[in-house]
Structure 1
Amino acid sequence: MEICTIMTRLGYGEMMRRWRVEKYRENDRLLNARSLNKQRNTIITAGSKAEGLTCFLESDWDVLFVLTDVLCVEADINLLTISDDIDVFRMDTMDTLVYPGHCRLLQERPAVHTRLSIIIKALCDNEYGGVLLSSSLLLDEYSALSLTHNAMLEHHERAGPSIPGTINGVHHIDRVIALRCSCPSILQRWADRRRKWPSPNIVQKVVSLGAFVTPVGFKGSDYKHMEWRICFNTGEAEFVNNLNDTQAKVYVILKMILRDIIKPNNKEITSYMLKNIILWQAENTPQTEFHSRSLLHWLHDGLKKLRTAIEKKRLCYYMIPERNLMEACGMHDYQQHKWVADITDMLEEGPNVFLRLKKLRKAIVASPEPMMWFSKKRMELEMLRLEYDNRQEEIREKDWKVDYSDSILEKIKSRKCDILIQVAQRMFLKVSSANQLIDIYNRMLM
């Protein structure tokens, strides 16, 4: 129960994560409402930011750029219901060479009028009279386009389907191009499962949100340059937003363990795998069993499931169980043995495992009053930052300029400065430059 309280003070409580979710959704709405959208895409915040589970600079900001004039469909979809202005591709998931959870995209019907140039440049002959959309070619074209349209970003080397970048040296953004996907049969198979969670209305909402495909093939495939991965980013964000307070905190602590103790070198184990463990845990257990007194129990249960997944190199994807998330993950035998041993040690440690996590350890040993004071200041600072970003989008001109003399922006900047000076004084620092305040600011939001 004390750990639950500390997690709330660290910014992982119910109120704070709900507030973050709403502000990132508002930011998406403002960005997508702008008339200047030359790339013809919809922006969707995904990952931990969409789930409200990380502070502003604590992790990368994952953003989907969904092409608005392209749709991928399953075999039985009636094309007459789809506008002629949309490029339509048929999803091929039945080929024996296509790994579960992936597909190839066969051109079914080109858009009648204007087509996106990056789509045209990514089309390939499949040698049987058909035309396929190449995931690797589309990603190449989009990466090149991104370099010319994002002067504010410091660009980094591509990582899978992600195009990473950094703003001001500290704000890391992972951009992923995606296509909308209509796959009712896949979603219905998921919806028809017997479950204790989520509720029927959330199940129907997730089905209505649909799916996406992203340009990344199965790592072990000889044809990965032509393959696409089926994803449910908006649905998964809805799942995490419907976890209760204890479930969300178990998920965050598991991510801390991954970062501070397991420390994979090349994403052999990812936070996405941990998310799937939490979702399976939630589906198979009544919600009433997740409460503050049972946090350690469910953390241990999650660790045991992770240990089993590592031992067997198998973890079923929550939405498409046939897909093994640990298939071709690149884990070596020595890593497998070490991580199994490390998790066994953590299970034997009991509650002492919390002391091995840097962020939690500092909070546990801190004096309660200064910790409470700092927690309030840090959360207020994050709220101000998100409000500032959204206000900028509200008043941004058509030429993308912002009037920084805006009264609301001025008030937010003034309050941020007051907080930072208070923190510096509490740290017995004599602030002699704006750079020192910026350093305090960045460290507080990490």
Structure 2
Amino acid sequence: MGSFRTLEMTAIQNISKAVFVGLCRKLGTSQIVAMRRDMMDINEIVENQVTTSDECSIMVSVSYREGFRLKESDIDFMFWPNNTRVIWELSQTQYYNTHRQTLILGDCSDSPPGFTLLYLLSPTMDKDIQRACVRINNIHYISSSKYRQMICAASINQSIQHGPCASGTIGTTEFDNAPCFVSDFWPPTASSWIDRCHSWPQTHVVDDIVKNGCHFVAIGHKLGRHEDHEWRISFSLAEQKLAFSMNHCQFLTYGLLKLFITDMVNNGVSEDNKLLCSYHMKTAVFWAIQQNTIPQWCPQNLLGCFWVCFKLILKWVYEGVCPNFFIPENNMFLSKIHGDKQHQVFIRLYGLYEKGLAFLLQCPSFRTYIFNFLHNLRLSICTDEHTLISEVDFDENLYDEILRIDTIRKLDIQRCMKYLQTIEQMINLHLLTQYQAIMLQKLTADVLQQTAFILYMETYTHLNKLSYRVDKMFCYMLKLASKFGCITDMMYRAMYYYKTLRYTEALSIIEKVVKLAQPYVMYWYNEDTEMYIEAVGGQSWSTKMRQAVAWIILLNNKIHYISELLLEQQSAMENGWSFLCIPSFVLLYMLEILCYRHIDTIRAQTALDDLQALVHYDQGHFIPLLLRDISWQILGICQQVTGNLQAALYSYQQSLRQEPMQNIQTATQMRIQEIGQWNSTDI
């Protein structure tokens, strides 16, 4: 069993099918990948249409945007100023209003292939661009190193500079923020790529790619004459469109190569010594598809597809040349893989090559699928994707995607109105996929909730009281939001009623939300799958959202929801967090305690006992492990407001011992000091 070479061709094809099935379950079926892309698309479109001309557009790039959701992968963001454009020829200035837009000229004449200097053509009000300018031969160029350093210094969450990015961590997720500029024009140095596209991609894809131009990220070539000032031409958007045009077998081959690099080449290797990366793997797949080196990209030939791409990478390492897909003259190994390092990488890859495809048995990501088949070579493998993922599995993937989407970057009433107008326009186009419609439904609920609370803050500040008509409008907006959203979106109405001293109304809402405790409700992937199917199986996701789906509660830290959590919101915001994330059950019990303490102290104590039991004994079922800090904190707040200071002190201390997910430690320490002052006063 040591080598696949001894197996018949039929067995090899079936092993390929087994790996295909395993990768579909690990990386996603074509339907799941399409859903991820659709939802990212619609969120990105809405966000960028709402941004103003003096703000930045943002694009999620690389593998996350392509549809992968690997735990070890970070999330890459590219952002660029809307009022700045790069052109390649002076004649292109005719397409812009130079009084409103800053124009930059790309100059590749003195840079290595794939890189350029950026010459500032017109005056700019952008302070970062002004400070990043350097003079070369009496011409103002924008220095990539200076620009990168300024943007990184202004980033949040203790970001560090990593290549062209400001890198950091939010919770357990690593991110890379890449400041860049954008051009609406395709770079002349990549014009040969257009002529090369005979068989792949299709003409309409090529036209779309060229029409959308390129980006420039803030890093120069290590062997360039102007390394500190050059910018790398980025084809991230073009690569995204190419990935979207792949069939699913091509996409999974790319995924298999990513897993191979992570598990077998870079495993245990320090960051500085990781010479091969997933970008090289993607480039190999692009070249293999375009050059027609693989006649059939299909499940039974998946391992053959992988092997062709692997040999291409081995050839590149041997020759020390990895040609960029868009600008082949740009050798991506030139400054990284050469000399002794090149030899070491080649020896390692060639050792795997000599073993044949059998080396995949060492790869932990999918060897189980191969072993299972090798124990029964006659096993029939079904590759029909509709049979691979159950309805519940798909719904969990959809649930996960909605949870991942970060909505509404900046907050004011004009922005909220623009969100609603944009969403309405998109709905009226009738061009949405079902997943994009779901995303718009979720966005609508979020915007309505935040709009109601913002209006409340502004109205109450100016009038010091609410008129009947204004209050009725807020209540209607929150009620409408709960109809668009899921079960837990009713909690925002309950908070509003509590905030406006209507405790009975708040409790009536809480009673409706109590069905959150039903075992069929999808909450943090803990639903009873059989009961879930029995309750809502086969229904639209819109119906499922309203009847059987619950999220964690997100409180925008710029909005004052209830006074008892202001300290925590301020602490989180000062440390770079836009939202406070609270487990739904924890907030439900908190509101119940706060309301009942005004009308029924016995029931308030019962609710406090329930909250205490939940926080003390829950094992990640209702309280995600990363949200235990805020859960202990809320328990302490409830104990403190009901007069049990010793118990509150213990809860705050427990909060400090948890993973500091939301940076609320400042608030915790202030509350501990407050209890200490009360105790000393009592003495």
TM-score range, shorter chain: 0.7 to 0.9
The Cα of 1:6 is off from its aligned counterpart by 1.6
The Cα of 1:351 is off from its aligned counterpart by 4.0
Q: Which has the higher strand share?
A: 1
Matched, 1:46 2:37: no
The Cα of 1:398 is off from its aligned counterpart by 6.4
Runs of at least 5 residues in structure 1 that lack an aligned partner in the other structure: 148-153, 424-430, 442-446
The residue type paired with residue 173 of structure 2 is: H
The equivalent residue for 1:438 is 624
The Cα of 1:392 is off from its aligned counterpart by 6.2
How has the CA–CA distance of structure 1 residues 361 and 282 changed in structure 2, closer, same or farther, with 3 Å as cutoff? same
* Contact 1:257-1:357 within 8 A present in 2 as well: yes
The equivalent residue for 2:87 is 73
Cα distance in structure 2, aligned partners of 1:119 and 1:293: 53
| Partner secondary structure for residue 78 of structure 1 | helix
The residue type paired with residue 359 of structure 1 is: S
Cα distance in structure 1, aligned partners of 2:309 and 2:228: 34
How has the CA–CA distance of structure 1 residues 349 and 139 changed in structure 2, closer, same or farther, with 3 Å as cutoff? same
* Contact 2:87-2:103 within 8 A present in 1 as well: yes
* Contact 1:317-1:324 within 8 A present in 2 as well: yes
The equivalent residue for 1:63 is 77
Cα distance in structure 1, aligned partners of 2:452 and 2:224: 45
Matched, 1:145 2:154: yes
The equivalent residue for 2:352 is 346
Identify the match of residue 139 of structure 2 among 106, 119, 130: 130
* Contact 2:74-2:174 within 8 A present in 1 as well: yes
The Cα of 1:330 is off from its aligned counterpart by 5.4
Q: How does 1:96-245 map to 2 (within 5 A)?
A: 98-111=111-124, 115-126=125-136, 128-147=137-156, 154-167=157-170, 169-181=171-183, 182-193=185-196, 195-245=198-248
Identify the match of residue 37 of structure 2 among 5, 8, 21: 21
The Cα of 1:384 is off from its aligned counterpart by 0.5
The residue type paired with residue 176 of structure 2 is: D
* Contact 1:139-1:215 within 8 A present in 2 as well: yes
How many pairs align?
A: 415
The Cα of 1:188 is off from its aligned counterpart by 3.1
* Contact 1:31-1:393 within 8 A present in 2 as well: no
* TM-score normalized with structure 1 length: 0.83
The equivalent residue for 1:323 is 330
The residue type paired with residue 438 of structure 1 is: P
The residue type paired with residue 282 of structure 1 is: I
The Cα of 1:155 is off from its aligned counterpart by 2.8
Structure (1 or 2) with the larger CA radius of gyration: 2
Cα deviation digits, residues 276-332 of structure 1 (max 9, x gap): 111011111188521122211121111111111112221100001110011111566
The Cα of 1:222 is off from its aligned counterpart by 4.9
Runs of at least 5 residues in structure 2 that lack an aligned partner in the other structure: 1-16, 374-380, 382-386, 406-438, 455-476, 490-515, 530-615, 628-683
The Cα of 1:38 is off from its aligned counterpart by 9.4
* Contact 1:90-1:105 within 8 A present in 2 as well: yes
Q: Which has the higher helix share?
A: 2
Cα distance in structure 2, aligned partners of 1:129 and 1:212: 26
Matched, 1:12 2:19: no
Q: How does 1:344-423 map to 2 (within 5 A)?
A: 344-364=350-370, 379-388=394-403, 389=405, 393-394=443-444, 395-396=446-447, 397=450, 406=482, 409-411=485-487, 415-417=521-523, 419-420=525-526, 422=528
* TM-score normalized with structure 2 length: 0.56
* Contact 1:11-1:375 within 8 A present in 2 as well: no
How has the CA–CA distance of structure 1 residues 129 and 337 changed in structure 2, closer, same or farther, with 3 Å as cutoff? closer
Matched, 1:298 2:312: no
Cα distance in structure 2, aligned partners of 1:252 and 1:309: 20
How has the CA–CA distance of structure 1 residues 321 and 419 changed in structure 2, closer, same or farther, with 3 Å as cutoff? same
Cα deviation digits, residues 418-438 of structure 1 (max 9, x gap): 732559xxxxxxx94254663
The equivalent residue for 1:151 is none
How has the CA–CA distance of structure 1 residues 39 and 311 changed in structure 2, closer, same or farther, with 3 Å as cutoff? farther
The equivalent residue for 2:18 is 2
How has the CA–CA distance of structure 1 residues 406 and 58 changed in structure 2, closer, same or farther, with 3 Å as cutoff? farther
Matched, 1:259 2:262: yes
The Cα of 1:144 is off from its aligned counterpart by 2.5
How has the CA–CA distance of structure 1 residues 78 and 373 changed in structure 2, closer, same or farther, with 3 Å as cutoff? closer
How has the CA–CA distance of structure 1 residues 9 and 400 changed in structure 2, closer, same or farther, with 3 Å as cutoff? farther
The residue type paired with residue 347 of structure 2 is: A
Cα distance in structure 2, aligned partners of 1:309 and 1:330: 10
The residue type paired with residue 63 of structure 2 is: S
The equivalent residue for 2:593 is none
The Cα of 1:365 is off from its aligned counterpart by 5.5
Which deviates more, 17-26 or 348-357? 348-357
The equivalent residue for 1:269 is 276
The residue type paired with residue 120 of structure 1 is: Q
* Contact 1:51-1:240 within 8 A present in 2 as well: yes
Which deviates more, 212-221 or 352-361? 352-361
* Contact 2:87-2:105 within 8 A present in 1 as well: yes
Cα distance in structure 2, aligned partners of 1:348 and 1:256: 20
The equivalent residue for 1:427 is none
CA RMSD in angstroms comes to: 3.2
Cα distance in structure 2, aligned partners of 1:288 and 1:403: 56
The Cα of 1:135 is off from its aligned counterpart by 0.7
How has the CA–CA distance of structure 1 residues 61 and 187 changed in structure 2, closer, same or farther, with 3 Å as cutoff? same
Cα distance in structure 2, aligned partners of 1:416 and 1:354: 36
The residue type paired with residue 78 of structure 2 is: L
Cα distance in structure 2, aligned partners of 1:125 and 1:420: 60
* Contact 1:195-1:284 within 8 A present in 2 as well: no
How has the CA–CA distance of structure 1 residues 420 and 300 changed in structure 2, closer, same or farther, with 3 Å as cutoff? same
Cα distance in structure 1, aligned partners of 2:626 and 2:366: 20
| Partner secondary structure for residue 167 of structure 2 | strand
Identify the match of residue 48 of structure 2 among 9, 12, 32: 32
The Cα of 1:345 is off from its aligned counterpart by 3.5
Cα deviation digits, residues 209-263 of structure 1 (max 9, x gap): 1101111001233521110000111111000111111111111111111111111
The residue type paired with residue 81 of structure 2 is: L
Cα deviation digits, residues 180-213 of structure 1 (max 9, x gap): 1234523432111253211111111111111011
* Contact 1:24-1:50 within 8 A present in 2 as well: yes
* Contact 1:30-1:393 within 8 A present in 2 as well: no
The residue type paired with residue 154 of structure 2 is: L
The Cα of 1:346 is off from its aligned counterpart by 3.0
| Partner secondary structure for residue 254 of structure 2 | helix
The Cα of 1:10 is off from its aligned counterpart by 1.7
* Contact 1:197-1:287 within 8 A present in 2 as well: no
The residue type paired with residue 65 of structure 1 is: F
Cα distance in structure 2, aligned partners of 1:375 and 1:220: 52
How has the CA–CA distance of structure 1 residues 376 and 412 changed in structure 2, closer, same or farther, with 3 Å as cutoff? farther
The residue type paired with residue 198 of structure 1 is: P
Matched, 1:248 2:251: yes
Cα distance in structure 2, aligned partners of 1:130 and 1:323: 26
Cα distance in structure 2, aligned partners of 1:358 and 1:93: 44
Cα deviation digits, residues 54-91 of structure 1 (max 9, x gap): 34x44111111121111111135431221111111111
How has the CA–CA distance of structure 1 residues 317 and 419 changed in structure 2, closer, same or farther, with 3 Å as cutoff? same
Cα distance in structure 2, aligned partners of 1:142 and 1:302: 37
How has the CA–CA distance of structure 1 residues 26 and 365 changed in structure 2, closer, same or farther, with 3 Å as cutoff? farther
Cα distance in structure 1, aligned partners of 2:353 and 2:334: 25
Cα distance in structure 1, aligned partners of 2:190 and 2:160: 34
The Cα of 1:159 is off from its aligned counterpart by 0.4
* Contact 1:47-1:237 within 8 A present in 2 as well: yes
Cα deviation digits, residues 135-180 of structure 1 (max 9, x gap): 1111122123323xxxxxx33321011111222x212221111101
